[in-house]
């Protein structure tokens, strides 16, 4: 089923954008973890709509209610079911059904795939609204991994043509992990150029697109610190395979790369190879072009991954389309509440997917050791 991710950890999603509720079931999560509800709430707020000028005006509380798998604030080891009730949907903005299909949306493909019986309101099951329960599941995984000494950091690498510095350029500074981690969180005036923030120049890029009834895309970058060597496997269960499968499930993600990614194709082997060294009798690499992965297995260095996100397809400009009922070409102007840029709200979703994938790999490795 397309709504189920099945590995050592299993995640399933349910609900539609304009239905009564959306949610997730997370199976295989360890028993006994005390859930940090404030941390969970903070993660949900990062993705929540209606929080700034650069997001859609839709208002949702996005509070997670656990129906099972949690007792007295601790995980029980049973499937965790979390539900998020919808409150701010405006189905009238989408008409009476699928007729004039929206360019680059799933209106046409979903209509064909499900023989016209799909829930078309607000994108239904194709909507980015379904990323809210992903963030909930990812927050739980992130909390568990943090208890094991594993941290996940993400930042907006670019919005349109405005670029931030890559984690790949900071590999040597990461050796002083605590100071580096805190340093990149520090705000510069009103700007928050890294760690979930959008710099002033990035905001201006979004505002310009919105003023022109258009949208803009970008890239996010994620880093996993504290992983031991040995997670993953070659070929179909590689670290890259596991994370890429999850990350390509995020609506709007059109590209995923690890380490220096496509940049490796422009290097010589002598430039691309990560030479080994010893620090306090620990095997390390002197560079991290491979993004902490060799042969599909973690090598103990930080895992780095980038995602490219397309511009939001819902724009106010008139576009060419087709009426399915009349089978005639027609001009379409999309109305409703939409993000001029999904990148800021996609960042916590990417981090959540990385947490889910790493948690899956962590559980698989632990099973091999028992």
Closest C-alpha among 304, 36, 285 to residue 145? 36
Higher pLDDT, 200 or 85: 85
pLDDT at 170: 86
State mean pLDDT over 33-40.
97
What average pLDDT score do residues 186-190 get?
Answer: 34
In whole angstroms, give the CA distance from residue 187 to residue 41.
Answer: 22
Structure-block tokens of residue 11: 């995640």
Question: DSSP letter at 210?
Answer: H
CATH 3.30.70.1880 fits 4-369, yes or no: no
CA separation for the pair 57, 19 (Å, rounded): 18
pLDDT, one tens digit per residue, over 110-141 is: 889 988 888 877 677 888 889 999 999 999 99
Return the biggest CA–CA distance within the chain.
Answer: 72
Q: What is the dihedral of CA 196, 197, 203, 207, to 10 degrees?
A: 40
Q: What is the mean pLDDT of residues 94-119?
A: 84
> How confident is the model over 38-57, as pLDDT tens digits?
999 999 999 987 555 555 55
| pLDDT beyond 60 at 90 | no
Task: Work out the average pLDDT over 59-75.
Answer: 91
Which residue carries 């997730």 as its tokens?
24
Angle at 191 between CA 214 and CA 208, to 5 degrees: 15
Instruction: Tell me the pLDDT band of 338, cut-offs 50, 70 and 90.
Output: confident
For residue 320, give the H/E element and its range. strand 319-323
Is 157:166 a contact under the CB 8 Å cutoff? Answer: yes
Q: What is the dihedral of CA 140, 145, 147, 148, to 10 degrees?
A: 160
- Which tokens go with 300? 């103990």
Of 320, 313, 308, the closest CA to residue 338 belongs to: 313
pTM of the model: 0.90
Residue 248 has pLDDT above 90, yes or no: yes
């Amino acid at each position: 089923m397309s709504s189920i991710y099945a590995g050592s950890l299993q995640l399933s999603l349910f609900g539609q954008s304009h239905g009564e509720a959306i949610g997730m079931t997370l199976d295989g999560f360890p028993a006994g973890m005390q859930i940090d509800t404030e941390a969970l709430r903070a993660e949900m707020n990062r993705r929540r709509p209606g929080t700034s000028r650069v997001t859609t005006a839709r208002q949702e509380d996005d509070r997670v209610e656990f129906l099972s798998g949690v007792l007295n604030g601790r995980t029980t080891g049973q499937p965790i079911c979390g539900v998020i009730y919808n409150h701010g949907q405006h189905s009238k903005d989408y008409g009476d059904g699928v007729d004039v299909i929206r360019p680059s949306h799933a209106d046409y493909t979903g209509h064909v795939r499900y023989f016209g019986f799909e829930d078309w309101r607000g994108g239904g099951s194709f909507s980015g609204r379904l990323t809210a329960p992903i963030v909930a599941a990812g927050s739980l995984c992130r909390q568990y991994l943090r208890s094991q000494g594993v941290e996940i950091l993400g930042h907006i690498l670019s919005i349109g043509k405005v670029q931030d510095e890559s984690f790949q350029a900071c590999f040597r500074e990461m050796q002083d992990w605590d100071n580096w981690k805190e340093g990149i969180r520090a705000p510069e005036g009103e700007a928050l150029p890294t760690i979930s923030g959008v710099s002033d120049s990035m905001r201006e890029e979004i505002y310009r697109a919105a003023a022109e009834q258009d949208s803009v895309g970008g890239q996010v970058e994620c880093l996993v610190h504290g992983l031991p060597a040995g997670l993953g496997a070659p070929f179909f269960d590689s670290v890259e395979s596991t994370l890429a499968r999850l990350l390509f499930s995020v609506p709007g993600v059109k590209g995923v790369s690890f380490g220096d990614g496509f940049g490796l194709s422009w290097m010589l082997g002598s430039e691309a190879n990560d030479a080994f060294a010893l620090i306090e009798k620990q095997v390390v690499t002197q560079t991290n072009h491979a993004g902490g992965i060799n042969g599909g297995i973690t090598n103990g260095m930080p895992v780095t991954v980038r995602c490219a996100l397309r511009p939001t397809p819902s724009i106010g400009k008139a576009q060419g389309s087709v009426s399915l009922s009349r089978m005639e070409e027609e001009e379409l102007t999309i109305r409703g509440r939409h993000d001029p840029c999904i990148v800021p709200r996609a960042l916590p979703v990417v981090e959540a997917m990385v947490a889910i994938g790493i948690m899956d790999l962590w559980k698989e490795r632990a099973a091999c050791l028992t």
